[in-house]
């Protein structure tokens, strides 16, 4: 299960992200284990779980890149964006269109969010299966990953302090 949740997305973003199993290329490899129905890998005689992937990276303009899906494809897009994003050329609408065009060329399915810091309001750029909602006491929320429904249920059940 993957979850990336951006709370208070339009004002002071608080981001929650996991680092759970996420295959590099979306294809299973390795051996099945009694704990997981998906394979793991064993390297050089030592046990090493496979597929643990960091779900975010920082772009050169200090924007944060979050994703759900195959880690390899997400890393490909991130590396591409690193070449065109800078402090002088921050992530914006034009770069977002360029990112979408790039995804069409690599033909990989994953969702991503870019949180661009700002002194006024944070900007949020999304692509793919991203759920957005306005939830009392959590503001505008954007979420992606297979854990979205459970996370939304928790936020609605426990509204926090007003």
What's the rounded Cα separation, in Å, for the pair 109 and 128? 8
What's the rounded Cα separation, in Å, for the pair 55 and 146? 13
Q: Which long-range contacts (CB under 8 A, 24 or more apart) does 126-132 make?
A: 127/96, 127/99, 127/100, 127/103, 128/68, 128/69, 129/68, 132/9
Spatial neighbors of 34 by CB under 8 A, at least 6 apart, are none
pLDDT-derived band at 24, boundaries 50, 70, 90 = low
What's this model's pTM, rounded to 2 decimal places? 0.76
pLDDT-derived band at 48, boundaries 50, 70, 90 = very low
* Mean pLDDT value of segment 128-143: 91
pLDDT of residue 142: 93
What residues does each domain of the chain span? 4-19+54-157, 24-53
* CATH architecture for residues 4-19+54-157: 4-Layer Sandwich (3.60)
What's the rounded Cα separation, in Å, for the pair 98 and 110? 16
According to the per-residue pLDDT averaged within each range, which of 29-38, 78-87, 99-108, 136-145 is highest? 78-87
pLDDT of residue 36: 54
pLDDT of residue 66: 92
Q: Is 45 helix (H, G, I), strand (E, B) or coil?
A: coil
pLDDT of residue 44: 47
Residues 64-80: tens digit of each pLDDT: 999 988 788 889 999 99
pLDDT of residue 156: 87
Token pair of 150, please? 């459970």
pLDDT of residue 38: 55
Residues 89-125: tens digit of each pLDDT: 999 999 999 999 998 888 777 899 999 987 777 889 9
What's the rounded Cα separation, in Å, for the pair 71 and 108? 10
52 close to 21: Cβ distance less than 8 angstroms: yes
Find, among 48, 45, 50, the residue nearest to 72 by Cα: 50
């Amino acid at each position: 299960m993957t979850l990336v949740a951006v709370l208070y997305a339009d004002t002071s973003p608080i981001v929650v992200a996991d680092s759970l199993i996420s295959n590099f290329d979306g294809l299973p490899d390795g051996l099945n284990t009694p704990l997981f129905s998906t394979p793991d890998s064993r390297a050089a005689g030592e046990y090493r779980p496979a597929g643990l992937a960091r779900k975010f990276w920082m772009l050169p303009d200090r924007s944060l890149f979050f994703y759900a899906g195959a880690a390899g494809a997400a890393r490909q897009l991130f590396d591409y964006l690193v070449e065109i994003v800078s402090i002088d050329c921050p992530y914006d609408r034009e770069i977002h269109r360029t990112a979408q065009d790039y995804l069409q060329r690599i033909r990989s399915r994953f969702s991503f969010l870019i949180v661009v810091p700002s002194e006024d309001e944070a900007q949020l750029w999304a692509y793919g299966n991203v759920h957005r909602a306005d939830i009392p006491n959590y503001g505008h929320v954007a979420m992606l990953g297979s854990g979205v429904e459970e996370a939304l249920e928790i936020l609605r059940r426990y509204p926090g302090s007003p």
